[in-house]
Amino acid sequence: MMGDLSRNFSKAEFACPCCGQANMDDDFILRLQLVRTDLGVPFSPVRGGGYRCALYLRETNNEYSAHGEGKAIDPDLDRRHYHAFMRLCLRYGFTGFGMKQKSGQFQIHVDTAQEIPGKRPRPWAWTY
């Protein structure tokens, strides 16, 4: 089924958990669709891993998150695909790479955010 953002992605998947808004950035979705097409494996954001509105960002104390610009995803993706996914994100110009491993739980974050001097370095890779 065709998504309403791109071939494989729909606004509903990226909805903010508190209000349902999904103001995703066109360039981000274009690049994410290139990753999705080449990867050949379906994925959606985890809950809260798509768009986040200003209120949600304040409540989670994460004012400079690329999720607030509609330029980030925390994909629900089996970790055996992480390497291929990250490689494709690099190829298609993603600038932020976060990796979490906590109590046997794994999550990755990728974004296309620009640098904010002193607040948000880019390109950048980090753990969380």
Residues that bind Zn ion in the complex, under the rule CB under 5 A: 16, 18-19, 53, 56, 72, 74, 109
Tell me whether residue 35 or residue 53 sits nearer to Zn ion (CB atom).
Answer: 53
Instruction: Give whichever of 2 and 78 is closer to Zn ion, judged by the CB atom.
Output: 78
DSSP string for 89-120: HHHTT--EEEEEEETTEEEEEEE-PPPBTTTB
Bridge partners of 13, per DSSP, are: none
Q: Given the complex with Zn ion, which of 1 and 61 has the nearer CB atom?
A: 61
Backbone angles phi, psi at 2, to 5 degrees: -70, 135
Q: Which amino acid is at 58?
A: R
Largest Cα–Cα separation, the chain: 42
**Residue 91 or residue 126: which is nearer to Zn ion going by CB?**
126
Q: Give dist(CA 18, CA 92) in Å, integer.
A: 30
